[in-house]
Amino acid sequence: MSKTILITGSSSGIGNVTARHFQSKGWNVIATMRSPEKDWELGLLENVLVTRLDVQDGGSILAAVNAGIACFGSIDVLVNNAGYGLSGPLEATSLDKIRRQFDTNVIGLIETTKAVLPHWRANKTGTVINISSPAGVVGFPLNSLYCASKFAVEGLSKALSFELDAIGVTVKLVTPGNMDTDFSGRSFDFNNDVERVEYQSIVDKFGLVRRNFSRGANPQIVAQVIYQAATDGSKQLRYVAGEDAELLIAAQKSTNDEQLMAGIKSQFGL
């Protein structure tokens, strides 16, 4: 019997590539997104259900989970992939956007996971894969809020793994590096206020680093790592996708905070 995976944020990027990868491996795929009408082609694939799920809308989360179970009989794996990136000086960022950052990356992830837990508790099995980021283990200039949200995902995943083990559910983290997706366009939000002149030097340097940032790797790499995490049957917590992410995580493990922060300051010319 084919297994079933539910993926949030499947309209583009990592989520879309991952949905197609699992479908090609014979899985049933519940590909969820805020506007499913925008990717009707994904729904033409065999054993793929495209349905609406907005992680800021609890009703849509429950509806998507129920629709997936009704269609395929069960959900074996949940990939919490939907995300939003907020950058810029904290002082220049509205409270509404700060709330959106945490509602999307943290609260929405929690609510989606909670929606699947009764099903898994009854079946005594399941795997939740949370998409993290190097920004969840290392702080970056002008990314205090995005980093805070991803640090929260890291802490949540590690702590949650203990209690979910009691019901047969495994928690995993996938940490992708820079990928060639449209995340920086569709899901990236930079805030600034030029009248706060004290921050403009770091804003300029941040912009220069972003413009000079090399093109990311193929997101298929992440899809393959997510597939490994979903199928290897291990209790391994972290999986890393991309050489840049591997280097950053290795540096975080091998050096102290001051040395690591000095290296990041140097990279940004601060």
Catalytic residues: 132, 146, 150
Q: In 3-state terms, what secondary structure has residue 165?
A: helix
Q: In 3-state terms, what secondary structure has residue 202?
A: helix
Q: What is the 3-class SS of the chain, one letter each residue?
A: CCCEEEECCCCCHHHHHHHHHHHHCCCEEEEEECCHHHHCCHHHCCCEEEEECCCCCHHHHHHHHHHHHHHHCCCCEEEECCCCEEECCHHHCCHHHHHHHHHHHHHHHHHHHHHHHHHHHHHCCEEEEEECCHHHCCCCCCCHHHHHHHHHHHHHHHHHHHHHHCCCEEEEEEEECCECCCHHHHCEEECCCCCCHHHHHHHHHHHHHHHHCCCCECCHHHHHHHHHHHHCCCCCCEEEECHHHHHHHHHHHHCCHHHHHHHHHHHHCC
Q: How far apart are CA 89 and CA 98, in angstroms?
A: 12
Q: In 3-state terms, what secondary structure has residue 30?
A: strand
